[in-house]
Amino acid sequence: MKLDPSIIARIQFAFTVSFHIIFPTMSIGLASFLAVIEALWLKTKKPVYLEIYKFWLSIFAMGFGIGVVTGIVLSFEFGLGFARFAQMAGPAIGPLIALEVLTAFFLEAGFLGIMLFGLHRVGPKLHFFATCMVAIGTLISASWILSANSWMQTPAGVAIRDGHLTVLSWRHVLVNPSWLYRLPHMLTAAYLTASFMVAGVGAWYLLKGKHQHFARRTLALGTAFGTVLIAGQVFIGDILYGTMLKYQPSKMQAAEGFWEKQSQSPAPYYWFIVPDQNNQRNRFQLGIPYLGSIWLTHSLNGRVEGLRNTPRDFQPRMGMVFYAFRIMYGLAMVMFAVGVASLWLRFRGKLFSSRWFLWILVFMTPSGIIATLAGWYVAETGRQPWVIYGVLRTVDAISPVPAQALLSTLIAFVCVYAVFITAFLVFAFRIIRRGPGEVPPHAEASGSVKNAFRPYVLDSPERLVNSSITQRS
């Protein structure tokens, strides 16, 4: 069987970047959440806020570590799988990534140690300052990366001369047409991810009848933040949709599932299609009448432009873009409904006692991560067949590397990342199962290597008690 290096390179990058994006999304959201919680603790001096801070700090630390490591891999992959892209886009993308390291990484690295290990070593105000610096660092990091990726979506401020890319205006490279909308969209996605995680864990404790005080406070905070944020996210998403319709019409045409140059009037809103890319039609489609016109053209009888408006050679694969968009948008609608329900239950004083709602929150715990992943699939698969929209095609960006080399590194990545995700999930579930306020003293983050290798660091309190009884006898 002959392997196609361009396919393997794309699968490899898709796999590693999908894995990576989970962790920055969590850490951007949790860093700001921790800053808010520490501010509340400093202001009110209520111990529950310190409990919440310590609990989520452990999960944040693990996610942050994995996010940094898997992010570094992506830079190397530019060379491994996409050397021609790196060669061409280097003058525009390279400085942005270097600036991310110089500004965000240095800031985060400088204060992360104080945030993780300094709670009992520095004053509370200095510790709060460190938490804020780490949170700001994650925002700066996201800004640079979104600027680079948005430039690939809507390139500006450059000229191609003799096959080489020259930057004409750094301002236009940085503040390219989609960055101003994609950055708040991504940041809000990260905050939503953290809000639903926090609310979901609180709901789980309430269902189990454990850690009531902690659970009520986290659930109340998570649902309040989530409700406000999802409204903002829906608004930003709609503005971004209009922007991308202007700059990347093929992406939005694929996202809506229409092939015809002009859809029927009134247009339905499709929720399920079986696209046939070769024959430029849907084999099957299922939608809600009128809703396509209402949502997409803001009129009762508006027509929607289909993918046939884009020449075949420049069309993305409809199925991938369509379903990624439906997952993202569908989850946004569910989140909005959960937000409205939480306000209603809060008003009726039943936020903590409605078991059906608590179960919904538990199931919604990973919803932010899933929606963010789906959103990135829309962005990246919808840009195809371009890697830099309208400038460089993906097939022309691949490294001249044998497919076997790419396949072997892909297998290695899958194996290593399987260990990462297993370790993360095992430790995260153990922290959640153990609960807040039950941390044995030596399991507190101390920065000591000796402590890190103690056998009971993340063990259950029961085993610790049994162990100490055995030792005494």
List contacts with other proteins (CB under 8 A).
Answer: 46, 48, 212-213, 216-217, 219-220, 224, 227-228, 231-232, 234-235, 237-238, 294-295, 298, 333, 336-337, 339-341, 343-344, 346-347, 349, 351-352
Question: Cβ closer to other proteins: 63 or 237?
Answer: 237
Q: What one-letter code names the amino acid at 142?
A: A
DSSP assigned state of 301: S
Question: Cβ closer to other proteins: 235 or 314?
Answer: 235
Question: Cβ closer to other proteins: 231 or 428?
Answer: 231
d(CA 192, CA 371): 10
d(CA 200, CA 119): 26
Question: Cβ closer to other proteins: 142 or 335?
Answer: 335
Q: How near is the Cβ of 239 to other proteins at its closest, in Å?
A: 8
Which of 185, 147, 84 is closest to 391 using CA atoms? 84
N residues, the chain: 473
Residue ranges of alpha helices (H) inside 384-402 are none
Q: How near is the Cβ of 216 to other proteins at its closest, in Å?
A: 4
Question: Cβ closer to other proteins: 168 or 340?
Answer: 340
Is 80 in contact with 109 (CB distance < 8 Å)? Answer: no
Q: How near is the Cβ of 342 to other proteins at its closest, in Å?
A: 9
Please name the helix (run of DSSP H) or strand (run of DSSP E) that holds residue 433, with its range, or none.
helix 403-434
Q: How near is the Cβ of 338 to other proteins at its closest, in Å?
A: 10
Q: What one-letter code names the amino acid at 37?
A: I
Distances (CA, A) of 130 to 31, 122, 320: 11, 10, 41
Which of 406, 384, 404, 386 is closest to 396 using CA atoms? 386
Q: Which residue has the tokens 């209009």?
A: 242
Is the preceding peptide bond at 266 cis, omega within 30 degrees of 0? yes
Question: Cβ closer to other proteins: 95 or 232?
Answer: 232
Question: Cβ closer to other proteins: 226 or 435?
Answer: 226
Q: How near is the Cβ of 250 to other proteins at its closest, in Å?
A: 22
Q: What one-letter code names the amino acid at 243?
A: T
Q: How near is the Cβ of 30 to other proteins at its closest, in Å?
A: 20
Output the DSSP codes for 308-321. GGS-GGGPPPHHHH
Q: How near is the Cβ of 242 to other proteins at its closest, in Å?
A: 8
d(CA 145, CA 244): 18
**In a 3-state reduction of DSSP, which class is residue 27?**
helix
Q: How near is the Cβ of 262 to other proteins at its closest, in Å?
A: 21
Question: Cβ closer to other proteins: 147 or 223?
Answer: 223
d(CA 361, CA 202): 9
d(CA 157, CA 28): 29
Please name the helix (run of DSSP H) or strand (run of DSSP E) that holds residue 44, with its range, or none.
helix 5-44
Question: Cβ closer to other proteins: 67 or 339?
Answer: 339
Q: How near is the Cβ of 158 to other proteins at its closest, in Å?
A: 31
**In a 3-state reduction of DSSP, which class is residue 175?**
coil
Q: How near is the Cβ of 214 to other proteins at its closest, in Å?
A: 10
Question: Cβ closer to other proteins: 271 or 295?
Answer: 295
| Rounded-to-10 torsion of CA 104, 201, 20, 15 | -170
